[in-house]
Amino acid sequence: MAQKKRSSRWRVWHRWLSLIFGVQMVVWALSGAYMVFFDLDYIHGDHLVQDISQPLPEHTHIASLDELFATYPETRSVSLETRWLDNTLQTVYKLETAKGSLLVNAESLRLIELNEQHIKALANRYYAPEQANIESVVYMTDNPPTEISEKLLPVWQVNYDDFGNTSLYLSETTGDLLVKRHNFWRGFDIAWMLHIMDYEERVDIETWWLKGFIIGTFILMVTGIVLLVYAISFKRTPAGGSQ
């Protein structure tokens, strides 16, 4: 009968362990299911934006490299592209310098400074859904929301009044779309936080309590397996008879 006595010990252990680790297992299963069931492209918000690049206009007289370097000698890389500004498709040079990026008119080499109207118009071009209702535009230089990296500052935040409360983040200097966020991304971020158990920065996957919970869950699972073995091997009818 000794073996049979043990079975109730295992059950008591299974209960107590599940009180602590089983609850986290539910959290893992829920957050894992969220991350698994929503397509990653959807989470990234790929459906919310479109490519707005255009072929370079043919008959523009663009400044030569020599002229460019004479005005902006610290340029480390330069990109010739187009930008919609004031309802006109302009040819621009986008420069990377030691001090950051710059946007200049490719013909006059004049520096382009983007204002709120420019940003709104650009954001609406990036925004893919048909109804583009901007709720608010925020220029942020510090204290970014948790959904973006501090490295992106300063940045324009354009918020839409739509199904997922979309926010597009555009570069202050170049008007490029940097990141896009919507409620399902924010949900994913919470699921990720719960999954890795870093409730502050949501990046640290090496915390001691995460490791502890994994080990605890492992023990919980071992007790469950033992109970499972008992359950499968039991016989309702006590064995009897003679051989």
79 binds another protein (CB under 8 A): yes
215 binds another protein (CB under 8 A): yes
Q: Which residues pair with 177 in a beta bridge?
A: 170
User: Nearer to another protein by C-beta: 84 or 134?
Assistant: 84
108 binds another protein (CB under 8 A): no
236 binds another protein (CB under 8 A): yes
Q: Please give the single-letter amino acid code of residue 212.
A: G
35 binds another protein (CB under 8 A): yes
Residue with tokens 């919507």: 182
How many other C-beta atoms lie within 10 A of the C-beta of residue 173? 18
List the interface residues with another protein, window 182-211 (CB under 8 A): 203, 205-207, 210-211
Binding piece for another protein, criterion CB under 8 A, among 4-12, 119-127, 174-182, 186-194? 4-12
227 binds another protein (CB under 8 A): yes
Out of 139, 163, 199, 218, point to the residue binding another protein (CB under 8 A). Answer: 218
- Crossing angle for the helix pair 208-233 and 2-17, nearest 10 degrees? 140
Q: How far is the CB of 75 from another protein (least distance, A)?
A: 5
Please choose, from the candidates 210, 238, 46, 11, the residue with its C-alpha nearest in 3D space to the C-alpha of residue 126: 46
User: How many whole angstroms separate alpha carbon 193 and alpha carbon 206?
Assistant: 13
Q: Please give the single-letter amino acid code of residue 180.
A: K
List the interface residues with another protein, window 36-75 (CB under 8 A): 36-40, 53-56, 58, 62, 64-65, 69, 73-75
User: How many whole angstroms separate alpha carbon 34 and alpha carbon 188?
Assistant: 7
User: Nearer to another protein by C-beta: 134 or 224?
Assistant: 224
88 binds another protein (CB under 8 A): no
User: How many whole angstroms separate alpha carbon 168 and alpha carbon 180?
Assistant: 5
Binding piece for another protein, criterion CB under 8 A, among 137-145, 160-168, 174-182, 234-242? 234-242
Site string for another protein, 119-138 (x = CB under 8 A): --------------------
- CA triplet 103, 104, 106: central angle to 5 degrees? 130
Alpha helix stretches (DSSP H) within the chain = 2-17, 23-37, 40-44, 65-71, 116-126, 183-196, 208-233
Out of 46, 80, 111, 163, point to the residue binding another protein (CB under 8 A). Answer: 80
Out of 129, 144, 187, 224, point to the residue binding another protein (CB under 8 A). Answer: 224
Please choose, from the candidates 178, 181, 199, the residue with its C-alpha nearest in 3D space to the C-alpha of residue 190: 199
Out of 86, 87, 108, 241, point to the residue binding another protein (CB under 8 A). Answer: 241
